[in-house]
């Protein structure tokens, strides 16, 4: 493989995106001695944690785990202040990483990548950015699973006289809602985190809910120094243990079925996990996402909690989800349900009376009108494929990724896609990604990609591409596994169901620990399922 770059704009590798994934990819590729350029659309690094500055934004996997492990020194030095760090703290951490490892000199900010075309003659990617063309042998998409925002196209939106905000594009200077009539559209994780804080400020808050969600209390608190010391005493061991757990996080899995124990024991288990707080609630029994009757026991427990917290029974009922718990991503909150006891908060159920139009001074559902000074779109993302498909990506014979993925994304291991040589996806569709603690998943992908590039170089190879047969088998396997679960039973963003017209395909792969073994095995067998050239 040519190590030499051809001009200052020709690189060994281009990485698109400077979040957790892009930063670490740059670090690893630089370590291999490659010339690398990272392009980032935002005016700063951090990805998710740069864009999502809404009130209450924080991680829902504990910070001691939702952080890099590639540098033992970094891991020891960094002090998280809370169990679940806030967005500003996570962004500070990523800024620290960028400085500590001198990453910034290879990152071009405010530079959106518009297209990436594979040139068969040279075997290089021709990449067009907002600030001109570049080329690279390897093109690595670190564009994020949840970075392309989804704003429903409500009629009249452009005529709204007040301010509108999307949680995923929050103004850096913050927003003062004091004295304002605020509408929040959506009740997913972003809404559930922001609603309690917006309610404390606003004159009145209207929450427009299409589907209620299950949320578990965070019980967030300053980190206990003793706990930090015990984790840091054997951080590698802590990470290794978590890597063997479902979702790659420290959620103790109860191996028994929820239906194997009696109602009292179940109630005790759920209560203890509710008290512990966080997503570990969902590993109370091994079959919660496999068996509807088992799932019902957990769902019923949370519905009872909602009724015990929310004073108005009609509001409690409207907040109580009917769908399978965990089918849409479980939320983690601080005071979410209790917020609906406030006199200045109104829940508007739009499930059977949808938002019909935005008016200059508010919005109208098919049932009633609401006067609003500002609207918060907590309406989520065109997840997993949105950021990739908004780049004009063309592989061999000029075939577009858009065309190839018209019926839904197709990848091998979520890392590569047939017909697109030397294109790598970090946490692409078909990998555990959003069904796991994402930072370790990102590190696993980055390490795999870096090791793969090092292997190609050592073997004197220039090209790697998933074979159609390996890809077909992987896609079938991902679908088969999803089909054995309750995930396909509701309209979640995992299925693309939140974006009108998006193909309904379950995009992530459920199976964190075995997936890593599979990736390692593929590499050990000389990249089985990939064609090398
Ligand atoms: P991102 O952080 O999304 O970064 C991708 C970057 O690529 C963005 O900065 C974007 O601007 C850039 N980009 C995209 N397209 C282009 C282009 N064409 N040209 C140039 N740049 C481009 N996961 C967890 O595991 N635990 C959590 O607690 C958790 N909390 C979350 C909270 C929020 C509010 C959200 C939205 C997501 C959360 N996630 C969480 C998922 C989170 O996205 C990942 O954990 C992780 O931050 C993703 O990192 P990334 O680098 O892959 O992508
Ligand atoms: P989301 O989960 O997709 O929620 C979007 C909300 O908007 C849903 O309630 C959805 O209703 C609603 N909505 C969309 N279109 C609508 C329409 N036309 N009319 C009315 N309502 C509409 O998005 P998110 O809350 O931004 O979260 C996305 C993911 O990011 C999470 O699942 C999680 O993985 C991650 N995240 C994590 C945290 C955290 O706690 N650390 C915080 C934020 C985000 P329907 O359900 O009916 O579609």
Per-residue pLDDT tens over the stretch 441-479: 999 999 999 999 999 999 999 999 999 999 999 999 999
Per-residue pLDDT averaged across 186-201, rounded? 98
379 touches ligand 2 (CB under 6 Å): yes
Distance between Cα 289 and ligand 1 center (Å): 25
Model confidence at 2: pLDDT above 90 = no
pLDDT (0 to 100) of residue 1: 38
* Nearest CA among 89, 105, 124 for reference residue 18: 105
Tens of pLDDT, residue by residue over 218-241, are 999 999 999 999 999 999 999 999
Tens of pLDDT, residue by residue over 24-47, are 999 999 999 999 999 999 999 999
- CA distance linking residue 507 with residue 428, whole number of Å: 9
Global pTM exceeds 0.85:
yes
Tens of pLDDT, residue by residue over 54-96, are 999 999 999 999 999 999 999 999 999 999 999 999 999 999 9
Distance between Cα 357 and ligand 1 center (Å): 30
* Nearest atom in ligand 2 to 61's CA: 41
- CA distance linking residue 502 with residue 385, whole number of Å: 10
Distance between Cα 498 and ligand 2 center (Å): 8
Per-residue pLDDT averaged across 358-365, rounded? 98
- CA distance linking residue 41 with residue 396, whole number of Å: 26
- CA distance linking residue 496 with residue 385, whole number of Å: 9
- Between the CA of residue 281 and those of 9, 294, 520, what are the distances in Å? 50, 14, 30
* Nearest atom in ligand 2 to 332's CA: 40
CB 52 within 8 A of CB 188: no
Tens of pLDDT, residue by residue over 325-336, are 999 999 999 999
Which residue lies with its CA nearest to atom 32 of ligand 2? 329
The closest ligand to the CA of 351 turns out to be: 2
Distance between Cα 189 and ligand 2 center (Å): 6
pLDDT (0 to 100) of residue 171: 98
pLDDT band, very low/low/confident/very high, at 252 (cuts 50, 70, 90):
confident
Q: What is the CA radius of gyration of the chain?
A: 23
Pocket test for ligand 1, best of 19, 87, 216, 445 (most atoms within 8 A of CB): 19
- CA distance linking residue 480 with residue 198, whole number of Å: 42
Distance between Cα 170 and ligand 1 center (Å): 14
pLDDT (0 to 100) of residue 8: 66
Which residue lies with its CA nearest to atom 4 of ligand 2? 188
Per-residue pLDDT averaged across 137-162, rounded? 98
CB 32 within 8 A of CB 454: yes
The closest ligand to the CA of 153 turns out to be: 2
pLDDT (0 to 100) of residue 7: 54
pLDDT band, very low/low/confident/very high, at 246 (cuts 50, 70, 90):
confident
Per-residue pLDDT averaged across 403-422, rounded? 98
pLDDT (0 to 100) of residue 512: 86
Tens of pLDDT, residue by residue over 475-522, are 999 999 999 999 999 999 999 999 999 999 999 999 989 999 999 999
428 touches ligand 1 (CB under 6 Å): no
- CA distance linking residue 401 with residue 394, whole number of Å: 6
* Nearest atom in ligand 1 to 61's CA: 28
Burial status of residue 480 (CB atoms within 10 A of its CB: 0-12, 13-18, 19 or more): exposed
Distance between Cα 490 and ligand 2 center (Å): 14
Average confidence score pLDDT of the chain: 97
């Amino acid at each position: 493989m040519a190590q030499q770059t051809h001009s200052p704009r020709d690189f060994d590798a281009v990485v698109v995106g400077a979040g957790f994934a892009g930063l670490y990819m740059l670090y690893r590729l630089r370590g291999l001695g490659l010339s690398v350029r990272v392009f980032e659309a935002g005016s700063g690094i951090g990805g998710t944690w740069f864009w999502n500055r809404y009130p209450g934004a924080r991680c829902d996997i504990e910070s001691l785990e939702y952080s890099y492990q590639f540098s033992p020194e970094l891991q020891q030095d960094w002090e998280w202040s809370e169990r679940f760090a806030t967005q500003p703290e996570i962004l500070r951490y990523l800024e620290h990483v960028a400085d500590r490892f001198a990453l910034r000199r290879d990152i071009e900010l405010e530079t959106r990548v518009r297209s990436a075309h594979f040139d068969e003659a040279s075997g290089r990617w021709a990449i067009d950015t907002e600030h001109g063309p570049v080329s690279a042998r390897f093109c690595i998409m670190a564009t994020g699973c949840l970075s392309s925002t989804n704003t429903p196209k409500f009629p009249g939106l452009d005529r709204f006289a007040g301010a509108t905000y999307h949680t995923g594009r929050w103004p850096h200077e913050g927003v003062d809602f004091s004295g304002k009539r605020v509408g929040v559209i959506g009740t997913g994780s972003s809404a559930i985190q922001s609603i309690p804080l917006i309610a404390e400020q606003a004159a009145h808050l209207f929450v427009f809910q299409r589907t209620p969600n299950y949320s578990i209390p965070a019980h967030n608190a300053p980190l206990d120094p003793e706990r930090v010391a015990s984790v840091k005493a054997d951080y590698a061991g802590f990470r290794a243990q978590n890597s063997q757990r479902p979702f790659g996080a420290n959620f103790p899995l109860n191996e028994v079925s929820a239906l194997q124990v009696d109602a009292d024991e179940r109630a005790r288990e759920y209560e203890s996990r509710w008290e512990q707080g966080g997503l570990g609630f969902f590993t109370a029994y091994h079959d919660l996402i496999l068996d509807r009757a088992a799932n019902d026991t957990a769902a019923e427990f949370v519905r009872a909690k909602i009724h015990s917290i929310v004073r108005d029974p009609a509001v409690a009922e409207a907040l109580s989800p009917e769908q399978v718990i965990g089918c849409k991503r479980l939320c983690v909150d601080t005071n979410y349900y209790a917020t609906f006891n406030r006199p200045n908060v109104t829940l508007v159920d739009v499930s059977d009376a949808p938002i019909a139009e935005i008016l200059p001074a508010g919005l109208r559902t098919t049932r009633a009108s609401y006067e609003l000074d500002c609207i918060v779109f907590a309406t989520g993302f065109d997840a997993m494929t949105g950021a990739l498909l908004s780049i004009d990506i063309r592989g061999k014979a000029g075939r577009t990724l858009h065309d190839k993925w018209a019926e839904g994304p197709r990848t091998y291991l979520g890392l590569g896609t047939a017909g697109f040589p030397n294109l790598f996806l970090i946490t692409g569709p078909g990998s555990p990604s959003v069904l796991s603690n994402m930072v370790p998943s990102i590190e696993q992908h980055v390490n795999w990609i870096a090791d793969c590039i090092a292997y190609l170089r050592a073997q004197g190879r220039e090209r790697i591409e998933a074979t159609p047969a390996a890809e077909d088998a992987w896609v079938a396997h991902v679908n088969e596994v999803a089909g054995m679960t309750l995930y396909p039973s509701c309209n979640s963003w995992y299925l693309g169901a939140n974006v009108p017209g998006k193909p309904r395909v379950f995009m992530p792969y459920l199976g964190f620990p075995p997936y890593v073994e599979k990736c390692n095995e593929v590499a050990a067998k000389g990249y089985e399922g990939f064609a090398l050239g």
